[in-house]
Structure 1
Amino acid sequence: FSAPIFLWTCLTALSVHAAGNVVNTYVDFMRGVDSQRSDDRTLVDRLLTPDELAHLGVILYALGCVGFVSLVLLSPAKMEHLALVYFGGLSSSFLYTGGIGLKYIALGDVLVLVTFGPVSVLFSFMAQAGYVDLGVLLYAMPLALNTEAILHCNNARDRESDARAGAVTVAILVGPTGSHVLYALLLFVPYMVFTVLGVHFSLWWLLPLITLPQA
């Protein structure tokens, strides 16, 4: 375990994640999706101007690239392997709402499920271990599903405003009842995964079950 690699990995992942959130805020505002009822009112309440937010996004992406270069120098992993996963994650964070806007054609949920689970975990593992092990993707499943649960919850709440703006999300496609069922699955399936991992590998995997009553 390398503490410097861990810190640079955190900086890189958080910077790209934050940059993706900034792009999402900017594009949603420009498309007229955000309103006074939205959870993100950074531009609606004029806390920042669109230009200031765009500059912030550039800075965050640049910071992520600095972190990536540092990892290339420090990590035992091959540069091409790190680059493939890193730039795949970076482009995904932008394309969620920027460019073709996968969020608006009901593909945003799939993108988030892949990016904030398998891609993030695989990148972190490679940076530390120096090699690729697809087995770590199993450990990424609970994280991916919980992240998707948060996104789906937000999309279910914003279903009407998204529809008025012409966006198509999974929450819109499945309707109110389907959204509730899907949210419950996304919330509780990770506990099933943890149980399986705990039975077959280590009892430490059962530790997240203490949060089950709150869920």
Structure 2
Amino acid sequence: TMAAPVYKFGPPLHARNVEGITRDDEFVTTSWAGDNQHQQPTETQQRIDAPLMKIKTYLSALRPWSLSASLVPTMLGTTIALRVHGFQEFNFLTFICTVFTVVTVHCAGNVVNTYFDFVKGIDNRKSDDRTLVDHILSKDEVVTLGVLLYCAGCAGFVCLVYLSPAKLEHLALVYFGGLSSSFLYTGGIGLKYIALGDVLILIIFGPISVLFSYMAQTGYVEWMTIFYAIPLALNTEAILHSNNTRDAESDKRVGIVTLAILIGKTCSYVLYALLLFTPYVIFVVLGMKYSTLFLLPMVTLKQAFDIEKQFRNESTLQKVPRQTAKLNLFFGILYVVACFGAPQLPFITRK
């Protein structure tokens, strides 16, 4: 019979050197390769991540931090309408459609602002919005985004016409007035560049937005809603004024004129303080005379003082517009809650 083969077992594999590579070396090499693979995404991962990054870029170009300026007035107008007519006549779809319409037009205005500030040479490497400066998006992409947003806003308006009890001509007057203003702020004649941007912001992000949302729900105009819009309008103007004060030197170099440039640094600070703190005075008066619920926004007063200190400091002025926008959102929501819960809304008659 043939003898069975004899297998000789040598030392453990990790102790042997096979072609100059030990098991330990192999482990290290594999680990390094794994780490390197983790650091460098595969082609599949890149294909997945690329669209997500692009979407994030587009969203960033819309300046989402500024949207409180349009969201809160829309919520306020709807809340006043709810208090006047009750839940029986409240239409949730109308509210959603109103928010969509107002926000898309606001975003479109932000994109138009980005485009014309770049074309006119205002934005630079130190600017807060560097979407075009850093070539994050191309000019064509920004234009396309603006057109799509305006189209979306118009689509929302068409839906609103069918849902709202308001007359078409009344809705159209307010809507297209707001739409054209969002474009003319920097496009066309460029109201921002001739020191009229502040007036436009006071009108649009306050009275017009509140009036539009109220009318969309009720079907008619209530002029006293403008009174309720004053605190929000002043605070929104504070966002713009802090932005223009921060950019005053660069704006002056390219030859545009803003209110911050015309009145100088000291008066700009005084104006900012008035815009920031006047709403709190209004809340105190309403709280003492009508309902203590109107004192709810006073919770944010400390935050307002902190932002006012940042405004006085050149090194922290860069952050002030966004901080003011955040304040606008917080005290705006508290103001809406106060209007919703107050036993009586002054100057507004329940139907």
- TM-score normalised according to structure 1 size: 0.98
Q: Where does residue 180 of structure 1 map in the other structure?
A: 269
In 1, distance between residues paired with 2:293 and 2:107? 30
Q: Aligned AA for 2:160?
A: L
Partner Cα distance (1:209, 1:123) in 2: 27
Instruction: Provide the residue aligned with 2:146 in structure 1.
Output: 57
The residue number in structure 2 matching 1:213 is 302
Q: Which residue does 1:149 correspond to in 2? A: 238
What is the CA-CA distance between 1:89 and the residue it aligns to?
0.3
State the one-letter code of the partner of 2:199: V
For residues 242 and 176 of structure 2, the distance between their equivalents in structure 1, rounded to whole angstroms, comes to 28
Q: In the TM superposition, what whole-angstrom CA distance separates every residue of 1:136-170 from its partner, at most 9, and x where no partner exists?
A: 00110111111100110010000011111111000
Displacement of 1:205: 1.8
Deviation string 1:190-211 (CA, Å, 9 cap, x unpaired) is 1112222333333322110110
For 1:139 and 1:36, the matched residues in 2 are separated by 39
Q: Which consecutive unaligned segments of at least 5 residues does structure 1 have? A: none
The 3-state SS of whatever aligns with 1:13 is helix
Residue type at the aligned position of 1:137: I
- Structure 2 match to 1:193: 282
Task: Give unpaired runs (5+ residues) of structure 2.
Answer: 1-89, 305-351
Out of 228, 248, 252, which is 1:139 matched to?
228
Instruction: Report the AA paired with residue 179 of structure 1.
Output: S
- 1:161 corresponds in structure 2 to 250
Which of 189, 192, 196 in structure 2 is aligned with 1:107?
Answer: 196
Q: Deviations over 1:156-192 (max 9, x none)?
A: 0000111111110000001010111010000000111
Offset from partner CA, 1:52-77 (integer Å, 9 cap, x none): 00000000000000111111000011
Please say if 1:118 is aligned against 2:199: no
Of the three residues 19, 22, 42, the one matched with 2:131 is: 42
What is the CA–CA distance in structure 1 between the aligned matches of 2:119 and 2:289, rounded to whole Å? 49
Structure-2 change in CA distance of 1:155 and 1:81 (3 Å): same
What pairs with 1:10-89 in structure 2 (closer than 5 Å)? 10-89=99-178
| Equivalent residue pairs, number | 215
Residues of 2 paired with 1:160 and 1:92: CA distance? 26
> What percentage of residue pairs aligned between the two structures are identical?
67
CA distance in 2, matches of 1:177, 1:57: 36
Letter in 1 for 2:258: T
Correspondence 1:5 to 2:75: no
User: Larger Cα Rg: Structure 1 or Structure 2?
Assistant: 2
| CA distance in structure 1 between the partners assigned to 2:192 and 2:99 by the alignment | 25
Residue 214 of structure 1 aligns to a residue in which SS?
helix
- The Cα of 1:130 is off from its aligned counterpart by 1.1
Question: Residue by residue, what CA displacement relative to the aligned partner does 1:19-44 show, whole Å, maximum 9, x if unpaired?
Answer: 00000000000000000111100000
In the aligned structure 2, how far is the partner of 1:194 from the partner of 1:37?
37
2:179 is aligned with what amino acid? L
Shift of 1:96: 0.3
Q: Deviations over 1:84-121 (max 9, x none)?
A: 00000000000000000000000000001100011111
Residues 201 and 125 of structure 1, relative CA distance in 2, 3 Å threshold: farther
Structure 2 distance, partners of 1:76, 1:198, is 33
**Letter paired with 1:150:** I
Q: Structure 2 CA distance, aligned partners of 1:199 and 1:64?
A: 40
